[in-house]
Structure 1
Amino acid sequence: MSTPNPSSPATADRSLRGLLFLLATIAGVSVANIYYNQPLLDNFRQSFPTGASWVGAVPAVTQLGYAAGMLLLAPLGDRFDRRRLILLQIVGMCIALVVAAAAPTLTVLIGASLAIGVLATIAQQAVPFAAELAPPAERGHAVGTVMSGLLLGILLARTAAGLVAEYFGWRAVFAVSVVALLVLAVVIILRLPKSQPTSTLPYGKLLVSMWHLIVEHRALREASLTGAAMFGAFSIFWSVLALLLAGAPFHLGPQAAGLFGIVGAAGAMAAPLAGKFADKRGPQSIITVSIALVAISFVVFGASAKSIAGLVVGVIILDIGVQAAQISNQSRIYALKPDARSRVNTVYMVAYFIGGAFGSGVGAFVWPMFGWLGVSVAGLAFAGLAAWNHLALPARAKRQGLL
């Protein structure tokens, strides 16, 4: 029997698949931490009744923290070994999670949530790492594979949090996450290779260079605003769902809200497929279809204030639309400047999560004033903004000879 050649294409392909699976796991386990709180809002309200009106600040500051972490930490992936950065952030994340689990007041929980958001940018070291490892002709598929892990983390985080909170209380959710991160750190030490830095710029200039990337690349600006609007729509729905289900006619707890994450996982399964289409046909048409799907989902939501079945259908459509657009946008921007992928990714993801935080804030504002129909209209408006940016602005610039 012949010994397999470790340098053969088949062996190299298996090795790449294994690394992509590990990076997908890193992305999913880390990013899940910024979504655990969404199905727990009613639990927070019961634990901290004097600050009940402020519980919506927990998911909002978590996403703002993620945007800040993207800006301040993610660019370091171009300057330093990403493996080392991932491990250091895991240590910080575990400390923040312990504080959240033991929080005596809502103010402490909000502060810990901000830190969790900042440190959860571990996920954004994993995605550019995948783009670096894959051949150019397979970059979209590689990014889609890792993003499927990230998206499963986003969606199943709600399910896991709901189940744990139902039987052990909301504080146990953060404690369990500490254990998961420590196990992951051991696997990273054993299996993940070091990355090769692509820049020698000092930290200050590394941050300033991102502004030059924004000015230089119109495609980056367009993708960033489209992504922000799409994630804003996504966050409007998910930040309010637990409150809708807690009231009449459902009267359901965090477990039911979390189980919707399993339904939304259909969108994550579409991510690698979207990446393959982006590799073959280009991302523009996929983004257009994705925006249409998000708009349709909020029409379905608007008609489903009292229907679990309608909400389930809407969630599937929403998540497929948002995730397909995300993969296509990232496949597009990673080709712009290969030696600055962490910084390009930072620009995009900062805008993306600012959009998410804004969407959560809009949801928290609209819900008590206008109810579920108002939330659905707000989500539709975000989809309209994405369509205007993706279709109307480029068409106008083309007519004016700017493209």
Structure 2
Amino acid sequence: MAVAPTAFVAPPRARPRDSGIDLVRALCVVVVVVLHALMVGVSIGPAGPVFENAAEGTAWVVPLTWVAQIMPVFFVIGGFAGATAYRRARERGGSGLDFVAARVHRLLLPAVLSIGAVGVGLAALAAAGVAGDIVQIAGFRYSQPLWFLGVFLLCQALLPLLHRAHERAPARSILALVAAAVAVDAVRDLSGLDMLGFLNLAFVWLALQQLGFFIADGHIDALPSRTRAAVAGAAVGLLALAVVAGVFSPDMLENLNPPTTALLLLGLAQTMVLSLLRRRLRALSARPRVAAFTRFVTARTMTIYLWHMPVLLAMAGVSALGAIRFGMPLPAPSSMLWWLTRPLWIAAALGLVAAVAVALAGCERRRIPASTPSTTRGAMAVLLGLGAVVLQLVAGTTVLTAVLAVALLGGALRLARTARSRQLGAGPLTAAVEVDVP
């Protein structure tokens, strides 16, 4: 009996990346490094080195934050990239659990190395006789930016679920998240319980991620240019009125901890401007030098984010040591001499962070084999990763908390690998679960 030949089904063609979006994301990462570099203040007091936030209590930081607060648009881009990658995975036979396991791997593997190295560094400082309060400050400063790792992991872990909700009811799904964020702010203000505001670590950032789905669908770009410009202007105007009325702090960094709905207005304005500029951004991103910059940062996003603070802390420590041993003058933060030295300081920070990223980003690009994942193992991996980050944020980074965090992160990565290696093993599906960088 003749057997009919099996039809060959070509795999879906990979869609090209949006180079303009990648460029904006890369610029956001650089802005974070520059802003944190400006916040590093080092001086020598009667009792020894003094490490402080150079921006705290200054007049220049408030207007700067209206431009440099890029976290809202970063989460919008994360939603765009995540939705695009998730759809691509589904077209090739992957699942939401594949997506989540890959995200856990991509986000947490660089964190193991960073947190572990900082723990070793803190132990070395203590062994060298550095004052305990300085070691504690160093660990605290390192742990502060780790909020992003935990929140982004949570948002990406929920992305498949929320994306399906977006496909069923796009308007209702995002409005529900916005309404929850507004309710949290209202209850927080009425009750005076600031701790309630931390619920918006979920609602605010999930709403902004959901906004990114509308860019991925093309819905926002389909709006007339005048409409997008009007929405951006209205969002900024409403935010300004709310600030004048005392609803929100004029410092957009203060609206970050805990996050407030001010970030939703700022993110909406940023999204509309991004949409208006997409064509120009694509043209700009095609230039060879710009493309090289974008590729460099895109391949190392999490490594740069996780290592820029250790680099800045090391620079601060070396500056203090030079001032003590060699009499090197340290200008007072926000003084004229301090501002004159900031270009050199920022250039040194960017150069050192880039060098570290080149040396260490290999782990960020490592792949794990794909397979049919386990829901329980995937959920446990996410929870262990979140637990490691929360531990650092609540207790600060110390030698002990670093060891515990590395153990939790190692467990999360092991669960993610196991979840993806049970049945199919490596094979054609591997390409299906590769995801864009955060």
TM-based fold match above 0.5: no
Structure showing greater radius of gyration is: 2
TM-score after normalising by structure 1: 0.34
TM-score after normalising by structure 2: 0.32
Higher helix share: 1
